[in-house]
Amino acid sequence: MIQRVENKRDKMTFKKIGNTALHLIKSEKINPYKDTIPIFIKLESQNPTKSIKDRMVHYVVSKAKEQVPQETTFVSASSGNTGSSLAYVCKQLNFKCIIVTNTKCSEEKIKACRDYGAEVIVGSSDVSPDSDEHYQNIAKNLASSNPNYFDLDQYGNEKNTESYYKTLGPEIWEETDGQITHFVTGGSTCGTIMGVGSFLKKEKRDIKVVLADPIGSSISGFVMGREVVSDLGSYVIEGVGKDSVPKLLDRELINSVIGISDQEAIDMCHKLKSEENIHLGGSSGLNISAAVKVASEASPGSNIVTIGCDSGVKYESKIYNDDWLKENNFS
């Protein structure tokens, strides 16, 4: 009986994850092609921790909790959003967790992890991906050092991709009545673009899957068949792009790649706030900038969907802070 009550409570707690709004961009200043080529934003900022990562973390932990003891500590490397999602889910389920993030992570996201009860370790992303000092390797080594630690392993866990295949993909398909022609999003773990892209192409083979990637990321070069070169520290947008090739990435699924600069992504965030009254983070600005570029070359009647990955409240100290913008030479 107790187990049944706990399971019912868990379902009530997590029922707010997913089923987020699909927002049509109305401003011509953002989408000059809006009359013939609409762009829709899936507002994943409406999830409980204001991030798309709630979907994946809830899915992975729900699968794992049936197999691990209650004294298990979940460990995850994260640029911030997976960390706060994991801390939130673990708090609801009475698990401990440790988040290993990097120096690029905003103070708001670090605070959110701690507020949900997580221990936070700050490593580095400005070193070789093979270095023991790289935040992903710190998490991996930490998890392997204790039998009671469970590594979420969002960068290599196929349940990451599976979570979006089973939740976000079907939502987008249903909300567009199957009329979607282009799906545009960035990638870091690449779970979202792989999961959603696979589902959509299963439903309609000719849907175009477009990777939005920060200029300086290694992912775009790999997708386009170039030699992978790590361009360390060359972009500031969080939660997107990578200094190595993600294990979950299948480049055959991706039709094209669009590179977006930090300035373009930041400018788009401010436009969205002023024109659409939507407050989103930098990776969302990157996605929507890329979607507009797709629209500029698409045929009339195309329907483009992209992702609003997280809320701008996570970046008030950075991309919405005039002093930070000036210090980092952004206009």
- Domain boundaries defined on the chain: 9-46+166-327, 53-151
Name the phi and psi angles at 136, rounded to 5.
-65, -40
Residue 4 confidence (pLDDT): 35
Of the candidates 27, 31, 43, 34, the one whose C-alpha atom is nearest the C-alpha of residue 293 is 31
Q: Does the pLDDT value for residue 60 go beyond 80? A: yes
User: Does the fold of domain 53-151 match that of domain 9-46+166-327?
Assistant: yes
Q: Which residues contact 263 (CB under 8 A, 6 or more apart)?
A: 330, 331
Q: What is the mean pLDDT of residues 4-19?
A: 66
Name which of 105-109, 130-134, 321-325 the model is least confident about: 130-134
| Local structure of 39: helix, strand or coil | strand
Mean pLDDT of all residues in the chain?
A: 92
Q: Which residue(s) pair with 182 in the sheet?
A: 208, 304
Q: What is the mean pLDDT of residues 198-221?
A: 96
Alpha helices for the chain (secondary structure H): 2-14, 53-64, 81-93, 107-115, 135-144, 158-166, 168-175, 191-203, 219-223, 262-271, 282-297, 322-327
Query: Which tens digits make up the pLDDT trace of 255-292?
Result: 999 999 999 999 999 999 999 999 999 999 999 999 99
Q: What class does CATH assign to 9-46+166-327?
A: alpha beta
pTM, two decimals, is 0.92
Q: What class does CATH assign to 53-151?
A: alpha beta
What is the percent of the chain where pLDDT is above 90?
A: 82
Query: Which tens digits make up the pLDDT trace of 71-127?
Result: 999 999 998 899 999 999 999 999 999 999 999 899 999 999 999 999 999 988 878
